[in-house]
């Protein structure tokens, strides 16, 4: 039974690691353009393709969701345009840093070192608290847009 729980935990770490890598690679391949558009760069063809708006809430209800602007914020953060990143979504740069820190954390957790080192185990609790605070910040920022 214990082995099954460890396997489930390992697969969770692997999934989060893959997701974070996809997010970072996506942020590197997208570039924010004028008028808050996103462009997908095709460097081999020296062209860019306009990336469509994917937010269903914004398309259907006409209001931005808490995550609106995160993709553009991540793409701006990768390019060190923090002013632009914060203008798209104020929590975006912090969430992007959390995503970057997930990579070494998930590799360490997947390897099993997390449970053998007390300091790493303590960092897991801190990291989870910070993640919840940032997600709460997304909701607060979203509500502030309407005031």
Residue 145 confidence (pLDDT): 79
Contacts of 106 (CB under 8 A, 6+ apart): 13, 14, 16, 17, 20
Residue 5 confidence (pLDDT): 45
Task: Tell me if 80 sits within 8 A of 96, measured CB to CB.
Answer: no
Q: What is the 3-state secondary structure (H, E, C) of 3-65?
A: HHHHHHHHHHHHHHHHHHHHHHHHHHHEEECHHHCEEEEECCCCEEEEECCCCHHHHHHCCCC
Token pair, residue 42, equals 């095709």
Residue 20 confidence (pLDDT): 93
Average pLDDT by consecutive 10-residue portion of the chain (147 residues)? 56 90 90 75 71 80 85 91 91 93 88 71 76 86 81
Residue 94 confidence (pLDDT): 92
Q: How many CB atoms lie within 10 A of CB 72?
A: 24
Residue 93 confidence (pLDDT): 94
Residue 43 confidence (pLDDT): 62
Residue 53 confidence (pLDDT): 75
Residue 120 confidence (pLDDT): 64
- What residues does each domain of the chain span? 2-145
């Amino acid at each position: 039974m214990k082995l099954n729980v460890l396997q489930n935990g390992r697969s969770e770490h692997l999934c989060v690691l893959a997701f974070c890598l996809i997010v970072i690679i996506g942020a590197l391949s997208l570039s924010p353009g004028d008028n808050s558009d996103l462009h997908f760069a095709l460097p081999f063809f020296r062209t860019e393709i306009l990336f469509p708006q994917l937010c269903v809430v914004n398309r259907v209800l006409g209001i931005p969701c808490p995550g609106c602007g995160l993709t553009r914020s991540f793409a701006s953060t990768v390019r060190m345009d923090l002013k632009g990143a914060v203008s798209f979504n104020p929590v975006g740069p912090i969430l992007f840093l959390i995503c970057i820190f997930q990579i070494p954390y998930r590799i360490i957790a997947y390897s099993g070192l997390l449970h053998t080192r007390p300091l790493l185990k303590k960092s897991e609790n801190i990291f989870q608290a910070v993640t919840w605070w940032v997600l709460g910040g997304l909701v607060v920022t979203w509500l502030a847009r309407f005031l």
